[in-house]
């Protein structure tokens, strides 16, 4: 008999022994053989944290694990991350449409107490709309004197009622403005923007976004934005997430919209 025949026979014997050993182990541990896996219609509870990537850096956007939420060194957060009111298990019925498609599909087939990283492509995550994207020039002009409604004043300055000759910090640009005129009946507030030429202002208190005043000529203030890093969350809810040579992008979509999402999920309970 040739050598290759002996080798083939030996391999068949080894495979047979391995299969037999596995069947024996399963028979000794029927729970392994009949282990419950997540299927459509099951009601499950999970612990999880979800993250996206910014420039190669992992950033957590959601979690129900308190240790992950508290640890900003190991688990840095997205700029729109919100601290949960409570740290509770996420419970839902698989296939009922509660969860995004990629998450729902990703938990199927998982075993009890199994931990798995689910990768959700953009088309199975959160939808992105170009209608919610706005481009802004670095160089901009604003009038020295501005008329606005009371609601606009509250949004730009403070929720307190304006007082004539009162000085208020402009949250949009960072400089101070003086109230010249108030007429609640006509819903009009007139302010005078009062920046210093050559000065730098931090509109959101973050050094990543700077307003530099270039000139004040006549009734026009000319300034330009300096963006040192992204992403930057603005008071309007938009996020500066991309910069270009002559303009930058403000994205009013959810921070996770249109991105590949990663979820580290542990199944805690499965109920058929």
Q: What is the CATH number of the domain that holds 263?
A: 3.10.50.40
| 85 and 189 co-located in one domain | no
Domain that holds residue 233: 132-251
| 48 and 123 co-located in one domain | yes
| 148 and 237 co-located in one domain | yes
Q: Do the Cβ atoms of 238 and 250 come closer than 8 Å? A: yes
Number of helical (H) and strand (E) elements in the chain, helices listed first:
5, 17
Whether residue 70 has pLDDT greater than 50: yes
In the chain, the number of structural domains is: 2
| 117 and 195 co-located in one domain | no
Query: CA 75, CA 83: separation in Å to the nearest integer?
Result: 13
| 92 and 109 co-located in one domain | yes
The pLDDT value given to residue 55: 83
Dump strand ranges (E) for 138-207. Answer: 139-143, 145-148, 167-169, 176-183, 188-193, 200-201
Give the largest Cα separation in the chain, rounded.
108
180 in any annotated domain: yes
Q: Which residue has the tokens 């109920």?
A: 271
| 243 and 199 co-located in one domain | yes
The pLDDT value given to residue 9: 44
31 in any annotated domain: no
Mean pLDDT across 15-21: 46
pLDDT per residue as tens digits for the range 194-234: 999 999 999 999 999 999 999 999 999 999 999 999 999 99
5 in any annotated domain: no
Among 78, 71, 110, residue whose Cα is nearest residue 94: 110
């Amino acid at each position: 008999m040739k050598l290759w025949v002996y080798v083939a026979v030996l391999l068949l014997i080894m495979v047979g022994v391995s299969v037999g050993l596995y069947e024996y182990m399963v028979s000794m541990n029927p729970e392994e053989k009949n282990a419950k896996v997540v299927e459509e219609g099951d009601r499950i509870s999970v612990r999880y944290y979800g993250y996206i990537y910014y420039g190669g850096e992992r950033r957590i956007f959601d979690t129900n694990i308190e240790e992950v939420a508290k640890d900003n060194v190991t688990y840095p957060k997205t700029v729109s991350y919100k601290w949960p009111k409570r740290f509770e298990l996420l419970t839902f019925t698989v296939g009922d449409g509660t969860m995004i498609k990629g998450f729902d599909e990703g938990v199927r087939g998982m075993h009890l107490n199994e931990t798995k990283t689910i990768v959700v492509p953009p088309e199975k995550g959160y939808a992105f709309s170009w209608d919610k994207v706005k481009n802004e020039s670095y160089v901009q002009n604003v009038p020295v004197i501005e008329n606005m409604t009371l609601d606009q004043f509250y949004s730009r300055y403070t929720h307190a009622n304006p007082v004539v000759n009162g000085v208020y910090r402009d949250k949009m640009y960072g400089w101070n403005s003086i109230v010249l005129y108030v007429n609640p009946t006509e819903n009009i507030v007139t302010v005078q923007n009062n920046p210093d030429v050559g000065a730098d202002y931090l509109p959101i208190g973050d050094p990543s976004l700077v307003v530099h005043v270039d000139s004040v000529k006549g009734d026009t203030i000319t300034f330009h934005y300096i963006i040192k890093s992204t992403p930057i969350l603005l008071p309007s809810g938009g996020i500066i997430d991309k910069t270009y040579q002559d303009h930058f992008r403000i994205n009013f979509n959810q921070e996770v919209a249109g991105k590949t999402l990663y979820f580290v999920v542990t199944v805690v309970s499965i109920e058929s």
